[in-house]
Structure 1
Amino acid sequence: MLVHRSRRILLVTLGLVSLLLLWGAGSASALYLPIPLEEKVDNSRAIVLGEVWDTESFFEGEKTISTRVTFEVEEYLEGEGPQILEFQVAGGEIGERAYRETDSPVFEEGNQALIFFQDTSPWKIFAGREGVHFLSLEEKEEDPLYRFFRGDLAVEEAEEALEETKPLPERGSQAFLNQSLENSLAQASPGEPQITGVSPTTISAGTDQVLTIYGENFGSTREGDYPIIGFRFYEDHYMYDPTWIRDWSDTRIEVEVNVLGINDYYYAPGSWGPPRGTLGFMEEEGDLVDSHYLEVSYGFIGHQWPLRMVPFYIDRGDKPGEYMTPLLRAANTWSMGGGDLYFHFQGETTAGAREDGKNVIAFTDLNNDYLVGRARLYYVGDNIVEADIELNQGADYNLGGSCPSHQVDLESVALHEIGHWLDLTDLYGTNDREKVMYGYTEKGRVLRDLSWAEREAVSELYPPRDKVPGDMVNRLAGQDRYQTALEVSQEIYPLERTADALVLAQGENFPDALAGVPLAHILNAPLLLVPPGDISPASPLYQEIDRVLERGKDIYLLGGEEAISLQVEESLNQYYSVKRLSGQDRFETAVEIARRVEEQPVEVFLVQGLDFPDALSVSSAASLLRAPVLLALPGSLPQATRDYLEEHQEHIRRIHVVGGEEALSPALARQLDQYGEVSRVAGRDRYETAALVAQRFFPGSLYLTAASGEDFPDALAGGVLGAVYDAPMLLVKRENLPSATSQYVESRRGELDRVFLLGGEASVRRQVEEEMERTLAP
């Protein structure tokens, strides 16, 4: 189980005064189509007005929390029922555990609301949070929705009034100002505060930027709660926090521009045009004396990805394959947005969008025709450790070209939701409508490219790396092969307990680890190398296992007891679920591993099982294709390999033979024709073969991994790293770059962002690293 820590806001009398860390499920953001009032009425079996008496949260399953709400009905506007009713909403808080779904309303004792219920047995709210209208019962006669039900307003008049004055939920201890449009700004009189300018005129929220406000008659000092600077976050609501004020004088104010959490939904100030601007000068009792325009480019909640290459999967459910294309285009648009952050498609899954350590975009039933997409993020500290997107499988999607007025453009929706994967908030200002992160969409709307605001966000939050000599090659090395594998694990999993499983292979020979790389990648698991004999709890290997993997999860041992001893298995079995994959020899072990990699393999890699050179470069490529790595003899297929190919013959379409004719003979290749199309990748030596693998399987990679071609351990440890970063494995010599490697790197000059060089200077000298830097330099 992942441990998620999310910042939660503690609101008291006059705003946000402290932060409280809770264990929880990060945040979620939802994208809605506008819901006409008549649709709400037509889809509701009961519409009630009343007050929340009590709320009680409880666990549903291991991680999900729901809340039971007791509601006293003052009046049934439609339908009938008891005076006291109970209903359930998703989300809640129990002790230090919190769970939220942003499309689900949040209630507190004392909330007063008008609620649309689509069912009454059990009571179920229509359209989630869009089916709840918070109001004051004492002032209900002035509320446009209540007036509509009393017959005082036509539906068009009510919708227009609601658009202008839609209130946020009232929270008794929450200090934010709900300023209605009826209180139009009076012309400032002599002596009253006036805002004459701001600097900068464009700012981002939640990034510690400070806004300077210029004007007159602000007051030389600020005492008590007012005056205050408020920001217009949503509709006509100005919200504030006294702790944001940095400096105050009669003609100059400095204030932070931040993101604010309300009912576990994060708001950023919008970019609002006249008559009411983004920021306002507020006096006693919330009177808005003056306002001014401010362009807010984006809102940032505060969490970032620890890795710059973010892998993701797609679960298209019963949708045909063409539904994947708009999703991939949207992810690529963010990857090309100008920052050092890239979204890498790992393949398809059927697991759905759930808390499982994998980033998934999935089509699912959202039980709401107007909710088209929802993103969920999971945090550990200030890091994002998982993000998912749920897309409404029942929506009528447009897949490309112009979008008809009756369809929702899928690529536009995906582009918005992936923006939440950067921890960006929705924006609601009148001048935010052309930004990707605008919080509403509509049928027929097409927005498939980032605006200047989103490009600014990705480049500021993930600054592009300068491609200069001395900074492009990162060496990952330990004192030996075992320590180097630990360094690779820590690069992939910088946060504790974030792996889903772990794979162990012997470090004295290559076949088991080679075949195990695709398995490790699919399992979201590091691959570590085990030294001969037993391992003690004090050993670096044991400590890394404990750091990266939660106890009780699976550890896969590759090979028999000669490869990894029974003592190691028994030691690990005390705390983990240990599974051994082995056969009578390396060929059978590779087949046992292959069975766990893919049940219906479409592609397969075949390498020589007696020597390592040609095999070193294939592991990351096989991982990306979810393709098993099988072993062969130079001139024949071992029986275990042949049996596997025959068993999966109906699924296999292509067999990639890696290595020259001396490694795997032409006669052997002809034997393979009966199982699928045979494609050979072979150079004049191991170095050229690796370069050819890179060209064929990684045509647009931004990263490279490189290791010694004169021995195998470092290259095997780096196979999973290459799969995570979509990076091929190149081979180098101890003293220099082989010509094939150098030519490949030179051909990618200006395109590559980083090279991971694996192994210490005993295996790859410092001058090789320097030569790689010179070859990469612009």
Structure 2
Amino acid sequence: MASTARARLLALALCASLALTGLGAFNGSQAALAAATDAPPRSPDGTAPDGTAPGGTAPAPLTAAEATTATERETARVVLSEAPQLSPATTASVTGTLRVYDYDGSGPFAAQTGSSWVRFWRFDAIDELWHWQGDVDEFGVNGEFTMAGLTPGQYRVEFVSYDVTVPVREYWYDEPFWYASDTLTVNADVLTTIGTVTLEPTPLEFFRISGADRYETAVAISQSIIGPGESAPVVYIVTGAGYADALSAGPAAARDGGVMLLTRPDALPPVIATELDRLDPARIVIVGGTGVVSAAVESALPAFVPDPGLVRRIAGADRYATSRLLVDDAFAAGVPHLFIATGRTFPDALAAGPAAARLGGAVLLVDGALSAADVATRTLITDLGTPDLHLAGGTGALSSGVEASLAAHVGALAEVTRYAGASRYDTARELNAAVFGPVGTDFAFLAAGEGFADALAGGPLAAATGSPLYLSTRACLRSGELVDIVMLLAKEVYALGGTGSLSDRVISGGTC
């Protein structure tokens, strides 16, 4: 994968990218397709607070050193709070003007009330989170806006507009990505003027993360999560010969900022051993019994941790028992959301992993062909604090009896929602629309819908960047997925795996 793309992902790995999306009208899929491949060069308008022009070209790509600096600067996640945290006792205000270019180069146009937003996130030094404080959606005739009543502090500011043919977003100051955005200081009893901010659409860029085989691809993904000189808090080792154990292990690894690596059942591949040496993990979790990850592999792993006791195995009698043990181990304190998918196939659970991680939740496998959820599953749901349940897949994947039994089990204590499309691809779209639609994303990931190998280790990477995972056919990217990605305001798309999984046409934006 390109070094610039990797640098950006490394810089973003410690935070989730949130944005305001899904609140405006869309003017047609053809416009979205055009924007993805034929957006005009940036042509900023207006001046910076110091009176200088913003410049006429897109920001230069980050170097590896700049990415490392960005990573050190950005150590906090953002949180979409239940309600704005504005304090009426303060009088800090921010004013400015928002203008927008269309993707055909026309404009700039004044931001319009109700279809453009300026959103404010304040850093809380106590919990080290960026909390949404509120947003502005009222603008003057020239795009003027004022945000009053802000609590003094350090802010990230986000600008979104649906006024033009294809929606566009930037961050303060003139940055396309959350991780690179500048911090705006807001003081009490001071009107902070940020001048004119002009939004310009940029082409959607595609990258590939791959290796010579599934094991090298897992290493490439791992290197996109844990940068040079950093160590992994945890590494989950799963078999590369099957998918079941990895589907619940991915969100578990993502929860602790770790990675997931694939191994051959009978021996640790040299490329995986080299990556483990680089990662210097604090602990290692083997997933599955000796039938899937042999004792020989287990005996090789203590060499990569400070103490042999830091290597342990989580294994149940079958894939469902293993899944329950993984979830119970990684989320012992409970979860707010639990995604449930069939363990008989992989696509629904694969797409559910990043969505679950985005909500701080887990993925649990069940036998979707049963007439009702088993007792062990229902018991675990209770032990996890009776979270909201998200069913991934239609009744062909998870029977109506499973859904009814789960709804009866949680009763009024939690909600049960099913996401189901006409195909595995559409189910992934339904999941992503529900979870990422309200907040948006800077990045999106593509995985093969017909094969699991290259995509398995990508779940923690998508989770680390707060990004959705879409499924794609090998030959081309369906237009529906491309439109969804554009509407989520993503700037970059990462295909997981080589051309045997996803063709070059997919990463060139070729649709079908």
Aligned to 2:10: none
Matched, 1:480 2:213: yes
Aligned to 1:615: 349
Aligned to 2:508: 770
SS in 2 for 1:679: strand
Aligned to 2:382: 646
Q: Which amino acid aligns with 1:602?
A: P
Aligned to 1:549: 280
Aligned to 1:565: 294
Q: Give the deviation of 1:752 after TM superposition.
A: 2.4
Matched, 1:661 2:424: no
Is the contact made by 1:631 and 1:641 (CA closer than 8 Å) also made in structure 2? no
User: Taking structure 1 as reference, are residues 474 and 671 closer, same or farther at Cα in structure 2, changes over 3 Å only?
Assistant: same
Matched, 1:760 2:491: no
2 CA distance for matches of 1:624 and 1:321? 16
1 CA distance for matches of 2:243 and 2:360? 20
2 CA distance for matches of 1:621 and 1:361? 25
Which among 425, 430, 451 is matched to residue 711 of structure 1?
A: 451
SS in 2 for 1:485: helix
Overall identity of the aligned pairs, in %: 26
Q: Give the deviation of 1:738 after TM superposition.
A: 3.8
Is the contact made by 1:465 and 1:753 (CA closer than 8 Å) also made in structure 2? no
Aligned to 2:9: none
User: Taking structure 1 as reference, are residues 390 and 769 closer, same or farther at Cα in structure 2, changes over 3 Å only?
Assistant: closer
Bigger RCO of structures 1 and 2 (CA < 8 A, at least 6 apart)? 2
More helix by share: 2
Which among 340, 362, 376 is matched to residue 628 of structure 1?
A: 362
2 CA distance for matches of 1:322 and 1:738? 37
Q: Which amino acid aligns with 2:466?
A: D
Look at both structures and tell me which one has the larger radius of gyration over its CA atoms.
1
More strand by share: 1
Note the alpha carbon deviations across 1:629-668, whole angstroms, 9 max, x for none. 11111223244323212333xx324211111111111111
User: Taking structure 1 as reference, are residues 681 and 505 closer, same or farther at Cα in structure 2, changes over 3 Å only?
Assistant: same
2 CA distance for matches of 1:733 and 1:314? 33
2 CA distance for matches of 1:681 and 1:311? 33
SS in 2 for 1:568: helix
Note the alpha carbon deviations across 1:685-709, whole angstroms, 9 max, x for none. 1011111111111112232100110
Q: Give the deviation of 1:506 after TM superposition.
A: 1.3
Q: Which amino acid aligns with 1:691?
A: R
TM alignment of 1:149-168, pairs within 5 A: none
Q: Give the deviation of 1:560 after TM superposition.
A: 1.8
Is the contact made by 1:534 and 1:567 (CA closer than 8 Å) also made in structure 2? yes
User: Taking structure 1 as reference, are residues 703 and 422 closer, same or farther at Cα in structure 2, changes over 3 Å only?
Assistant: closer
1 CA distance for matches of 2:382 and 2:429? 31
SS in 1 for 2:220: helix
Note the alpha carbon deviations across 1:140-196, whole angstroms, 9 max, x for none. xxxxxxxxxxxxxxxxxxxxxxxxxxxxxxxxxxxxxxxxxxxxxxxxxxxxxxxxx
Aligned to 1:341: none
Is the contact made by 1:409 and 1:444 (CA closer than 8 Å) also made in structure 2? no
Aligned to 1:363: 126
Structure 2 gap ranges (5+): 1-49, 54-64, 101-119, 136-147, 158-170
TM alignment of 1:77-476, pairs within 5 A: 305=69, 312-313=76-77, 361-363=124-126, 411-415=151-155, 436-437=184-185, 441=187, 443-445=188-190, 447=192, 451=194, 466-467=202-203, 472-476=205-209
Is the contact made by 1:302 and 1:423 (CA closer than 8 Å) also made in structure 2? no
SS in 1 for 2:276: helix
User: Taking structure 1 as reference, are residues 465 and 479 closer, same or farther at Cα in structure 2, changes over 3 Å only?
Assistant: farther
2 CA distance for matches of 1:558 and 1:715? 17
Which among 720, 724, 729 is matched to residue 460 of structure 2?
A: 720
Which among 249, 252, 257 is matched to residue 524 of structure 1?
A: 257
SS in 2 for 1:414: strand
User: Taking structure 1 as reference, are residues 400 and 584 closer, same or farther at Cα in structure 2, changes over 3 Å only?
Assistant: closer
Matched, 1:744 2:490: no
Note the alpha carbon deviations across 1:66-110, whole angstroms, 9 max, x for none. xxxxxxxxxxxxxxxxxxxxxxxxxxxxxxxxxxxxxxxxxxxxx
RMSD over aligned CA atoms reads: 4.3
* Count of residues in correspondence between the two structures: 381
Q: Give the deviation of 1:573 after TM superposition.
A: 1.6
TM alignment of 1:663-678, pairs within 5 A: 663-673=397-407, 674-675=409-410, 676-678=414-416
Is the contact made by 1:484 and 1:714 (CA closer than 8 Å) also made in structure 2? yes
Which among 568, 588, 604 is matched to residue 338 of structure 2?
A: 604
Q: Give the deviation of 1:389 after TM superposition.
A: 7.8
Note the alpha carbon deviations across 1:555-582, whole angstroms, 9 max, x for none. 1222222222222222222341213222
Q: Which amino acid aligns with 2:194?
A: S
Structure 1 gap ranges (5+): 1-200, 205-300, 339-344, 346-359, 365-387, 392-398, 402-407, 426-434
SS in 1 for 2:454: helix
Q: Give the deviation of 1:496 after TM superposition.
A: 2.4
Aligned to 2:32: none
1 CA distance for matches of 2:396 and 2:317? 26
1 CA distance for matches of 2:405 and 2:303? 46
**TM-score, normalised to structure 2's length?**
0.64
